Structure 1
Amino acid sequence: MPSQEAKMLGDFLLAPAALRDFVTLRQFTEIFPKSHRTNPAVQDLYRELQRLRDKDIDMVRRSIAEEVQRSKQLKRDYAHERRQLDGATVAGLDPVALQMEEEISGEGHKRHHTLQTVHTSIQEACQGIEAQIVEIEEENRSSLVQVQELVGALSDLRHGRFAQAASGEDMGEETLATLKRLEAVCAHPPR
């Protein structure tokens, strides 16, 4: 059974291709002036055109067969190259880490992207990154507020104004506790 490619090329290039399929001998002789229609050379000319046409059709058939064989090799080459690309590693990326990420993300098989799926995946990744940025900015604002509150609590020390400790503790102990909280916020911001 011919391949789909061979059938498509044959249907397009060969049907109807024989001279007798679209011009009969009678129609061909009617092209000539009436005085030459009975000349035996007209019939010989028709046969010669038919022979040349059949020769051309055979040449087209051979070319179609060669093209089908060439396309089979191209398909094999493409499949081989695709397998190499799918198995290739990118410099700087750990293949084990990539495999773990695929397993964690639930993508046990590699998806082959189309232009539309790549675009969708990129949009989803951008939205995820934007959400992470918003979350990080909120954490930074929260950390900044905490630092500002602690610095404000220590500003009395800087200006030499000592208010009575609200907790009733010794001023030095309260100052030390506030400095430790400031150090903790700076070293380990809340997540």
Structure 2
Amino acid sequence: MAPTEATILRNYLLLPSRLPSIISLQEFTSLFPKSQQSSPQVRALYRDLQQQRNALVDAVSASIDAEVKQAKALRRTIIKTQKESEYEEHDDEIEIERTLFGPTSTTVTPKQHSLQSIIPDLDSAVADIESDLQKLEEEESALLESVKQAAGNMSDLRYGRLSNSNLTDEVIDGLHSIQETCKRKS
């Protein structure tokens, strides 16, 4: 099986990038003057560099995961667009040709699936649906939170608990300015 994008990126970017695979503690210590090599600060500096390097490697790993998800979503979008364009390009003449003469080299026949070829397509479809469902659930929770916040604000307004104590004065001033504008226009 051919290596995937994620495998290539991980092997190229992540495997050789941990600090101990680049330089060991002993090699790092030997870079310092003899008088400083036994200092605990050298070991602490190496550990700090190792933690920084690990954080960077973790960030790269997360970026690889995000890139793989984005690539999958892009492939799904391309396939969906291709299917939609095929559906839109449906030609009556070709359909009549197929009916009269059967499938020929000038008419495109749909791809026939075997059990082995349909399983990855079904898995991809399941992943698409789950992804869409997750997006819808996130959108639904954001909308619900927005509605709850709006209802809470309306409740505060109903019972006279305003977060802005000057709001009533501002509203009255706004209404007066509207009245003045209407009087000037008439």
Superposed, 1:66-105 pairs within 5 Å as 66-89=66-89, 95-101=91-97, 103=102, 105=104
Specify the structure having the higher radius of gyration (Cα). 1
| CA 83–46 in structure 1, closer or farther in 2 if over 3 Å, else same | same
Aligned to 1:30: 30
- The amino acid across from 1:80 in the alignment is K
Matched position secondary structure for 1:34:
coil
Q: Is the 8 A contact 2:6 2:68 kept in 1?
A: yes
Aligned to 2:109: 109
Alignment partners' CA distance in 2, 1:86 and 1:70: 24
Superposed, 1:4-15 pairs within 5 Å as 4-15=4-15
Alignment partners' CA distance in 2, 1:9 and 1:101: 49
1:101 positional shift:
4.5
Moved more, 37-46 or 94-103: 94-103
- The amino acid across from 2:73 in the alignment is Q
Two-structure CA RMSD over aligned residues (Å): 2.3
Q: For residues 102-136 of structure 1, what are the alpha-carbon distances to aligned partners after superposition, in whole Å with 9 as ceiling and x for unaligned? A: 6464344169xxxxxxxxxxxxxxxxxxxxxxxxx
Matched position secondary structure for 2:17:
coil
| CA 60–104 in structure 1, closer or farther in 2 if over 3 Å, else same | closer
- The amino acid across from 1:65 in the alignment is D
| CA 31–75 in structure 1, closer or farther in 2 if over 3 Å, else same | same
Moved over 4 A (4+): 101-104
Q: For residues 150-183 of structure 1, what are the alpha-carbon distances to aligned partners after superposition, in whole Å with 9 as ceiling and x for unaligned? A: xxxxxxxxxxxxxxxxxxxxxxxxxxxxxxxxxx
Q: Is the 8 A contact 2:30 2:37 kept in 1?
A: yes
Alignment partners' CA distance in 2, 1:78 and 1:5: 18
Alignment partners' CA distance in 1, 2:97 and 2:76: 30
Alignment partners' CA distance in 2, 1:105 and 1:16: 54
| CA 82–36 in structure 1, closer or farther in 2 if over 3 Å, else same | same
Alignment partners' CA distance in 1, 2:12 and 2:29: 28
Alignment partners' CA distance in 1, 2:85 and 2:12: 35
Unaligned runs of 5+ in 2: 112-186
Alignment partners' CA distance in 2, 1:84 and 1:23: 54
Unaligned runs of 5+ in 1: 112-191
| CA 105–13 in structure 1, closer or farther in 2 if over 3 Å, else same | same
Q: For residues 31-64 of structure 1, what are the alpha-carbon distances to aligned partners after superposition, in whole Å with 9 as ceiling and x for unaligned? A: 1122221221111100000000111111111111
| CA 101–32 in structure 1, closer or farther in 2 if over 3 Å, else same | farther
Between the aligned residues of both structures, percent identity stands at 30
Alignment partners' CA distance in 1, 2:10 and 2:53: 15
